[in-house]
Amino acid sequence: MKSTQKQFPTSAVHLGWPGWSGRERSWLSKSGVRLVLMAWVAFCSAIATATADTAGAPGGKANSAVVPVPGGGDTWKTRQEAINARAKQGNVDLIYIGDSIVRSWQWDGTPVWDYYYAKRNGMIAGMTGDRTEQVLWRLQNGNIDGITPKLAIVMIGQNNGPFNTGEEIGAGVALIVQTLREKLPKTKILVLAIFPRGEKPTAERAVLAKANEVVSKLADGKHVFYMDVNHLFLGPDGGIRASLMPDFEHPNEEGHRVWAAAIESKVAELMGDTPTPEMPAKPKTKGEAAPGH
C-alpha cells in the first residue's frame, strides 16, 4: 500500500511580510523564529499523518476500517451509553472489546462469564453489528475513560468481511491496538483471531483468515499478545461445529465454555492471577451429541 503522504516545503516559509521595515521585524527573536518553525512543522506533520491514515487500497481508495464512525440507530446509541455508564462505575480489571460475538457473553455465555470473569471485575464492551471503525469511535468516546484494566481482550473485524480486504481489516485492528496502548498504557492486550462464520469455507472466510495473519504480527510479547483458537470450532472438513455455534457465527453456552477454557492460562498469566480450573461441561441429555460432533 503506497502512502499518499504529502511533502511540505518548509524552506519556503517566510517569517516576515511585505512592507515591514527591519525595525518592525526586530521584535522577532531567534527563539521566536524557532517556535514559528516548530509550529509549522507540527502542522504539516498532522496533515500528512491524517492523509496517510485514511489512505487505503491502491488507487487512493480510502480504507473505511480505520476511519472512526459511530453506529446508527437508537439501539446502538443506548448500548453505547450503557457501556460508558459501566466504565464510569470503575472497578474494571478485565475488558472484552468487540462486536456481537463479544456481546454474546451477556447472552448464551452468561454462565461461563460468571464462572471465569465476574470475579475478575470483567466488563463487556461488545456491540452488535460493529466493525473496526465503530470500535475505534467508541474507544475515543467514553468506553474506556477513567478505567485502567489489567487486561483488554479484543476480537473485532468479522463484520468488516463483506466490505474490506484482509489487509484493511488488519489495519483497523492495528489502530484499535494502538489506541488502547495510548489510552491505557498499563493495560496488557490479548488480541484473539477473528472467528470464522458460515457453515462451510467461503471467500469471506479467506478474507478473515488474511486479516488474522496480519493481526498476528501485532504481538510483541511484552504489551500485546495474540491467540488463535478457531480450530476448536471447526470440524475436519473446515465446517463450523453446530454443537458449539448453532448459527455458524455466535457460540452457544458450550462454545463459550470451550472458548474461555482455551485462553484461560494466558488470561491468568497476563492478569497476574491463578488460572481458574476448567468449567465442567453440562451433562448431556439422552440423544444429544457430544461437544464437537
Q: State whether 115 and 229 are in the same domain.
A: yes
Report yes or no on 222 lying in a domain: yes
The DSSP annotation for 3-57 comes to: --PPP--GGG--SS-TT--HHHHTT--HHHHHHHHHHHHHHHHHHHHHHHHH--B
The one-character DSSP state at 131 is: -
Q: State whether 94 and 43 are in the same domain.
A: no
Q: State whether 264 and 174 are in the same domain.
A: yes
**What pLDDT is recorded for position 23?**
38
Q: State whether 216 and 161 are in the same domain.
A: yes
**What pLDDT is recorded for position 225?**
98
List per-block mean pLDDT (blocks of 10 residues) for the chain, which spans 293 residues: 39 36 39 40 36 45 96 97 98 98 98 98 98 98 98 98 98 98 98 97 97 98 98 97 98 98 98 98 66 36
The three three-digit cell numbers of residue 217, written as one number: 504480527
Helix, strand, or coil here: 204?
Answer: helix
Q: State whether 165 and 234 are in the same domain.
A: yes
**What pLDDT is recorded for position 74?**
97
**What pLDDT is recorded for position 286?**
62
Q: State whether 42 and 114 are in the same domain.
A: no
Report yes or no on 226 lying in a domain: yes
Q: State whether 101 and 211 are in the same domain.
A: yes
Q: State the DSSP H helix or E strand holding residue 215, giving kind and residue range, or none if neither.
A: helix 203-216
Q: State whether 162 and 57 are in the same domain.
A: no
Q: State whether 53 and 97 are in the same domain.
A: no
The three three-digit cell numbers of residue 221, written as one number: 510479547
**What pLDDT is recorded for position 28?**
35
Report yes or no on 148 lying in a domain: yes
Q: State whether 107 and 232 are in the same domain.
A: yes
Among residues 211, 278, 281, 285, the alpha carbon closest in space to that of 244 is found at: 281
Label each residue of 136-197 as H, E or C.
HHHHCCCCCCCCCCCEEEEECCHHHCCCCCHHHHHHHHHHHHHHHHHHCCCCEEEEECCCCC
The one-character DSSP state at 231 is: G
Q: What is the CATH number of the domain that holds 99?
A: 3.40.50.1110
Report yes or no on 228 lying in a domain: yes
Q: State whether 50 and 82 are in the same domain.
A: no
Distance CA 254, CA 119 (A): 20
Report yes or no on 95 lying in a domain: yes
**What pLDDT is recorded for position 60?**
66
**Host domain of residue 42:** 30-62
Q: State whether 91 and 127 are in the same domain.
A: yes
Distance CA 120, CA 117 (A): 5
> What is the tally of structural domains in the chain?
2
